[in-house]
Structure 1
Amino acid sequence: MKHATLSRFASLAASAALALSLAACGSTSRSTYSAAVSNDTAAFSSQDAGDYEYYSAESAAAGEGSSFSSDDLTSSMLDPSTVESSRKIVYNASVRMETTDYDTTRAALQEAVTAANGYLESTDQGGSKDSGSRYTYYTARIPAENYRSFLTAAGEAGNVTSLNESAQDITAEYVDVEARLKALNDQRDRLNALADKAETTADLLEIESQLSDVQYQLESYTGQMRLMDNQVRYSTVDISLQEVQVLTPTATTFGEKFVEAVTSGWRGFVDGAEDLILVVVYLWPVVLIVLAILLVARPALKRRKARRAEKKQAKLAAKAAAVQAQPAEPAKPDDTVK
């Protein structure tokens, strides 16, 4: 009996020892995997930091933080053919034009866009042909290599009254996004490798969550990269075309300015006279009504004026008669006569 009891206790002790051993093994395996993930993540972060520093140094070597002088802004910088190919420059321009031949100038601008292998991003037209006040607003996207030639062709299509240009260097921002994309791609590859080694469902779900975050960032930075590439490849040119009767003067010498002043003064006088005549013509119904009222009211006004004059004369006559009707006062005796 005593031997049987000892055997039962020995079996229970062995079972408990086996259970504890299995639990310890599972815990050790879990801890080992978690440590592997942590170490790999730490190693990845360290490598990412190294990659980022490398790309940042490359950015600095490419000219990060550099600036252009005012001479460059008005000369070579605004010509993409004179800029280093490693730079990422965004060119924009705003052109104001006027023309007396609206249809011809508009067609010439569209041909210039086509010849430069560009396209019209937006078009806005309005105004009246009868009044000669038509206008068109274009937003053209022109390949950077044809930017300068397009502006020259557009300037020859009409009379340019103003031209504003800008050049934005986005090299540093571009290299930064490029480095982040490389780092995120490396992180995705590492996470995929860890997912192949995952032993439990919980570990796999954790890796998939991290992969989802990485994929979201990859798509965001990829969109930014595509946008910057498009801005660099295609310059944006805003064009404002206005139909006018007379072009804006562009004289430079005193003689030319004097002639234009005389011509502009006479033109202003003629335009004012024409406007006055047009106002009278536009208001002819009102003018006729006013004339009719004056014709009808004039006799009545004359009669009223005559009656007022008669009343005034009657009052004066009555006053004079009253004065004459008053008796003369007797003379007072002179006290000095005795």
Structure 2
Amino acid sequence: MRSRHPVRPVPALAAVLLTATLALTGCSAGGSDSGGGAANDKAAAQSDAKGSAPGGEKGASGAKPAQAPRLTSSIIRTASLTVQVKDVPKALDEARTTAEDAGGYVGDETTTRDEKGRERTRVVLRVPVEKYDEVLAALQGTGKLLDRTAKAQDVTDQVVDVDSRITSQRASVARVRELMDQATKLSDVVELEGELSSREADLEALLAQQASLKDRTSLATITLSLSETPVKAAAKDGSPGFLDALAGGWDAFVTMLRWLAVAIGAVLPFAAVAALAVLAWLRLIRPRLPRRPAPAPATSALGPLPSAPPVPGNSPRRDGDEH
């Protein structure tokens, strides 16, 4: 009989251990994968929550939310200055140079003289708003400041309204033009042309208003009045002295001579013509006139009438008469 050999347990045990190892490895891998997936899902959820929370920088899509544009203030600045200077033309040249150096220009200009011969000038300067304060300070320093007025008008709402109306009006004009391209009837074309002309006129008026606002808000307006300083100052006590009276009398005398000369000059041509007329009468016309005969003595039927007796005391004296 064959003897039974005992079964060796080593291969079987190795197989069992290998199977257990593989099972444990698979479980740990699955556990780690599930744990990592959970961690990733949690991180993603936290990221989404942070993005969707109020005040977050990014939304669910990762893009920044749109922000409303900031409006720039539109202000119209105007000022009026009255300055007393010693030399008006020189001060005016300095004001022109100051405005031109600041990037502006000179507008209206008016120059007059008062009854005392002193010069007065009024000039309008347009300067950029950025240089407004600098130019204003420079003009004040040209002489003695007598008066100053400055104004600032905020027209931001008006500028925004005009810009919005221009955008709408342009869209309206574009729609009317599209309808004209699609119109087939002559009556429709004529009606649309009238509507288009009306809307284009409104658009031009809005554009002109926009340009005016832009000019007034980008350039400040400064009205400068320059007056000349009096050459002679008044006396301290206010009462005139002897020299003042003498100077006044001499001025009156010179003024009288001047007016007298003017009067003589005005009358002289007429006097010359009158003198020539009298001379012509005496030398040319009068000698040629016929002389009148002497009147004959009055007579009557009885003879000549006696002449009137001489008046006593008026008869001519004869030689030998007693006194």
- Quickly name the TM-score band, shorter chain normalised: 0.5 to 0.7
Matches within 5 A, 1:171-210: 171-210=156-195
- Measure, in 1, the Cα distance between the counterparts of 2:77 and 2:255: 57
Percent of matched pairs sharing the same residue? 24
Q: What's the CA shift for 1:117? A: 1.4
Counterpart in the other structure of 1:282: 251
Match of 1:242 among 221, 227, 232: 227
Cα distance, 1:279 vs. partner?
A: 3.1
How much has 1:266 moved relative to structure 2? 1.6
Distance 2:202 2:247 in 1: 66
1:285 shift after superposition: 7.1
Shift of 1:105: 1.9
CA distance in 1, matches of 2:242, 2:174: 81
Residues 196-251 of structure 1: CA distance to partner in whole angstroms, max 9, x if unpaired? 1112111111111110110010011111111111111111110000001379xxxx
C-alpha offsets along residues 254-302 of structure 1, whole Å, 9 cap, x if unaligned?
Answer: xxxxxxxxx97627446x76654443223227999xxxxxxxxxxxxxx
**Partner SS, residue 266 of structure 1:** coil
Look up the equivalent residue of 1:187 and give its one-letter code: S
* Contact 2:105 2:126 (8 Å CA) reproduced: yes
Q: Distance in 2 between matches of 1:158 and 1:211?
A: 57
1:120 maps to 106
TM-superposed deviation, 1:157 = 1.5
Q: Report the alpha carbon displacement of residue 187 of structure 1 after superposing the two structures with TM.
A: 0.5
The verdict on how the C-alpha distance between 1:284 and 1:210 changes in structure 2, with shifts beyond 3 A counting, is: same
**C-alpha contact 2:88 2:121 (8 A) present in aligned 1:** no
Which letter maps to 1:283?
A
Asked if 2 retains the 8 angstrom alpha-carbon contact of 1:132 and 1:243, the reply is no
2:249 aligned partner, one-letter code: V
Conservation of the 8 A alpha-carbon contact between 1:132 and 1:244: no
Q: Secondary structure at the match of 1:241?
A: strand
1:147–1:194 Cα change, 3 Å: same
For the pair 1:102 / 2:88, whether they are aligned, the reply is: yes
Partner residue, 2:316: none
* Structure 1 gap segments, 5+ residues each: 1-57, 63-85, 248-262, 289-338
Q: Which residue of 2 aligns with 1:213?
A: 198
Partner residue in 1 for 2:289: none
> Is the aligned partner of 1:87 residue 2:73?
yes
Partner Cα distance (1:96, 1:175) in 2: 35
Q: Is the 8 A contact 2:76 2:217 kept in 1?
A: yes
Is contact 1:121–1:141 with CA below 8 Å preserved after alignment?
A: yes
- 1:152 alignment partner, one of 134, 137, 154: 137
CA 287–165 in structure 1, closer or farther in 2 if over 3 Å, else same: closer
- In structure 1, the partner of 2:281 is none
Q: Give the gaps of 5 or more residues in structure 2.
A: 1-67, 258-323
Q: How does 1:12-31 map to 2 (within 5 A)?
A: none
Q: Is the 8 A contact 1:132 1:245 kept in 2?
A: no
1:140 match: 125
Name the one with the larger helix percent: 1
Q: Which has the larger radius of gyration?
A: 2
CA distance in 1, matches of 2:134, 2:155: 23
CA RMSD of aligned residues (A): 3.0
2:215 is aligned with 1:230 = yes
Query: Does the C-alpha gap of structure 1 residues 187 and 90 become closer, same or farther in structure 2, counting only changes over 3 Å?
Result: same
Secondary structure (helix, strand or coil) at the match of 1:148 reads helix
User: In structure 2, what residue type is equivalent to 1:224?
Assistant: Q
State the shift of 1:91 in Å: 0.3
The count of corresponding residues between Structure 1 and Structure 2 is 190
Q: Distance in 2 between matches of 1:167 and 1:204?
A: 49
Summarize deviations over 1:132-174 as a string: whole Å, max 9, x none.
6111110111111111110111112121111100001111111
Deviation per CA, 1:89-124, whole angstroms, max 9, x where unpaired?
000000000012334322221211111111111111
| Distance verdict in 2 for CA 1:216–1:275, change over 3 Å | farther
Cα separation, partners in 2 of 1:88 and 1:267, compared to 1, 3 Å:
farther
Cα distance in structure 2, aligned partners of 1:145 and 1:99:
27
SS of residue in 2 equivalent to 1:245: coil
SS at match of 2:141: helix
Change (3 A) 1:285 1:241: closer
Contact 2:121/2:226, CA 8 A, preserved across alignment:
yes
| Residue in 1 that maps onto 2:14 | none
